[in-house]
Chain A
């Protein structure tokens, strides 16, 4: 296969794993490993990626990999990093990985503790906006009004009623030196951000939006198209917060949010009234991001 703009040709996440065809999360993971390289240890939370990659005695991992439980990838990574330190190994990358359930919700305390302690490690949250592994239940990261099995498009309540928890900002507010959001529609941007994050001498955090076929009720060939639309409509803006300074990675002219919603079965129930509310939510975030682009938003911490 031809090398794409400096992308590592070596595959560290072997094919033959059991992820769905078109899985955005597997795609992200594969390219994160390409960017991180061989000298990397991954501590992964329970979730789809752990299940599809490690059916005993098989493994898709060409690098050292450890899975313990759902809510503790950051704590496990703390133990790994401390042990490496005591072995005098400062070179090996340590990456903790979890989905949105593992990161926004159940593992939030573990994540907060680990970044507060300042271990040198990268935490990657691959966000597909619901508990997909257990059958598409709502999470703190679920997009407003999305239809999930625990926030159904009901006759009275039309899907998830809350905005997304602003996890990248919460992490940045801890004083983390490098926080970024990325998206599988732009793998070069993802690669660059992984490299930047791993160069930090302390904790860093990366949020990656990953479309999910069964969860979003989308076709297997639509992953990249929908991910790109999430950027174009500002449904999932891509930015960095480096030493407290916000920097938008892309500032596209916003397309109407309906274009994003209509591509996905999880928003099939959305009426024009609801679409307007979602547009307001997206616009409000966009306004905040544009107003603060290039500014030190967590100046008090540095």
Chain B
């Protein structure tokens, strides 16, 4: 069979499943949860119809999904899982164990808020609550970006100097269930972009090694320090891989870390991630047409946090407003905190706007209000 690139109309979840298929994972531990269910469903179709040579593990919980993912990587094969919301929360214990073992796992997240109260709709509290667990985090604006990001995620994760797991985040419903035209790439091209995964260290009776030892205070610190170094390496590798991807497939999303929209002479700007970037594009276009000097920074990579890129982008701004779809209760939005830290020596004011919790709309009216607030020099608020 000759594989050809083709254009299809697909939801964000299906786009992810198609991309995963092209990456040829061998083990798929899967547990369904709304709104991520389409991913395991499509991957099941591929496996059960013989289109993908992989073993599905129909685990009994997300905790076991992450654990089986760990086991598969310990045995030296490429694997994949998908989840959302409380499923990610249930995986919480295992996520830092995967990153500490330096397994280059990839997981898609259909971002949904965490209970309670129980709510199936979108915000970023599931992934943001895992920001400190050693997983690289990408956020996507479109189905195509989700598809492309999966390919780049494996390539990045498997770079020897990175060797960290990656979450590819798409907004629940707002992207996971929205149908868009999608360019599906040719298998051969993907194979050359993403070579087979052949790790040096894995469970092998011919060369027995121990994985997951107990680290006492005399070594635990260094394990974490090495992960931090790997995160810094990832910050350098992401733009490189992005450039390579652009060369191979012709698409790009800024430099892979951030994308700048109308930022050249902007005085006020938004920082957003995920699908709210699309809404913000419309708002910026409208305000620009009215002669207002506004811009938009799309935050594609949240971990590692591209602090230097953000600092450069905000250098000449009067104020920047952050659209945070998560709040660290008792403090502020996670992105706001990072941006404040990045801009601590800049004149640009930083205002956080807690937005879209539990699926509340982030519409153009609300974003226009954010720009008005910045212009007036007023404080950020909860964008209800």
Contacts of B116 in A (CB 8 A): none
Q: What's the Cα separation between A68 and B64 when bound, in Å? A: 11
Does residue A288 face the partner (Cβ distance < 8 Å to B)?
A: no
Does residue A66 face the partner (Cβ distance < 8 Å to B)?
A: yes
Contacts of A78 in B (CB 8 A): 29, 57, 59, 64, 67-68, 71
Does residue B72 face the partner (Cβ distance < 8 Å to A)?
A: yes
Contact B97 A69 (CB under 8 A): yes
Task: List 6 other contacts, CB 8 Å, given A75-B64, A78-B29.
Answer: A59-B210, A64-B205, A79-B27, A79-B67, A79-B74, A82-B71
Contacts of A117 in B (CB 8 A): 57-58
Does residue B26 face the partner (Cβ distance < 8 Å to A)?
A: yes
Q: What's the Cα separation between A38 and B77 when bound, in Å? A: 22
Contact A66 B68 (CB under 8 A): no
Does residue B211 face the partner (Cβ distance < 8 Å to A)?
A: yes
Q: What's the Cα separation between A235 and B103 when bound, in Å? A: 44
Contact B68 A75 (CB under 8 A): yes
Contacts of B93 in A (CB 8 A): 69
Contacts of A83 in B (CB 8 A): 26-27, 55, 71-72, 74-77, 79
Does residue A249 face the partner (Cβ distance < 8 Å to B)?
A: no
Question: Of the candidates A67, A68, A84, which one forms a contact with B75 in the assembled complex, judged by CB atoms under 8 Å apart?
Answer: A84
CB-nearest residue of chain B relative to A91? B205
Does residue A57 face the partner (Cβ distance < 8 Å to B)?
A: yes
Contact A86 B54, CB 8 Å, known A57-B219, A68-B67, A75-B64: yes
Contact A66 B29 (CB under 8 A): no
Contact A39 B27 (CB under 8 A): no
Give the interface segment out of A107-115, A135-143, A153-161, A238-246.
A107-115
Question: Of the candidates B27, B63, B65, which one forms a contact with A71 in the assembled complex, judged by CB atoms under 8 Å apart?
Answer: B63
Contacts of B207 in A (CB 8 A): 64
Which residues of B, 45-65, contact A by the 8 Å Cβ criterion? Answer: 53-55, 57-61, 63-65
Q: How far is the CB of B216 from chain A (nearest CB, A)?
A: 6
Question: How many B residues have CB within 8 A of the partner chain?
Answer: 43
Question: Of the candidates A50, A86, A113, which one forms a contact with B59 in the assembled complex, judged by CB atoms under 8 Å apart?
Answer: A113
Contacts of B219 in A (CB 8 A): 56-57
Q: What's the Cα separation between A140 and B77 when bound, in Å? A: 36
Total A-B residue pairs with C-beta atoms closer than 8 Å?
156
Contacts of B320 in A (CB 8 A): none
Contacts of B77 in A (CB 8 A): 83, 86-87
Of A71, A76, A85, most B-chain CB atoms within 10 Å:
A76
Q: Could you name 23 residue pairs across A and B whose Cβ atoms are closer than 8 Å?
A: A41-B205, A55-B213, A56-B213, A56-B216, A64-B208, A65-B208, A66-B71, A66-B74, A66-B211, A67-B211, A75-B71, A78-B64, A79-B27, A79-B71, A82-B72, A83-B75, A86-B27, A86-B53, A86-B55, A110-B60, A113-B60, A113-B61, A113-B64
- B interface with A by C-beta (< 8 Å): 26-27, 29, 53-55, 57-61, 63-65, 67-77, 79, 93-94, 97, 203-205, 207-216, 219
Contacts of A64 in B (CB 8 A): 203-205, 207-211
Contact A68 B72, CB 8 Å, known A40-B205, A92-B205: no
Contact A38 B210, CB 8 Å, known A72-B67, A83-B75: no
Question: Of the candidates B26, B54, B64, B209, which one forms a contact with A110 in the assembled complex, judged by CB atoms under 8 Å apart?
Answer: B64
Contacts of A61 in B (CB 8 A): 208, 210
Q: What's the Cα separation between A65 and B74 when bound, in Å? A: 10
Q: Enumerate the 3 nearest inter-chain pairs by beta-carbon distance, A residue then B residue, closest first.
A: A79-B71, A113-B60, A83-B75
Q: What's the Cα separation between A84 and B75 when bound, in Å? A: 7
CB-nearest residue of chain B relative to A76? B71
Q: What's the Cα separation between A226 and B313 when bound, in Å? A: 72
Question: Of the candidates B97, B203, B212, B213, which one forms a contact with A80 in the assembled complex, judged by CB atoms under 8 Å apart?
Answer: B203
Does residue A228 face the partner (Cβ distance < 8 Å to B)?
A: no
CB-nearest residue of chain B relative to A86? B26
Does residue A276 face the partner (Cβ distance < 8 Å to B)?
A: no
Contacts of A76 in B (CB 8 A): 67-68, 70-71, 74
Contact A41 B69, CB 8 Å, known A72-B94, A86-B27: no
Does residue A21 face the partner (Cβ distance < 8 Å to B)?
A: no
Does residue A77 face the partner (Cβ distance < 8 Å to B)?
A: yes
Contacts of A77 in B (CB 8 A): 71
Q: How far is the CB of B219 from chain A (nearest CB, A)?
A: 5
Contacts of B55 in A (CB 8 A): 82-83, 85-86
Q: How far is the CB of A77 from chain B (nearest CB, A)?
A: 6
Contact A80 B74, CB 8 Å, known A75-B63, A109-B61, A113-B64: yes
Does residue A62 face the partner (Cβ distance < 8 Å to B)?
A: yes
Contact B94 A80 (CB under 8 A): no
Does residue A254 face the partner (Cβ distance < 8 Å to B)?
A: no
**Residue-by-residue, is A101-121 near B (CB-CB < 8 Å gives 1, otherwise 0)?**
000000001101110110000
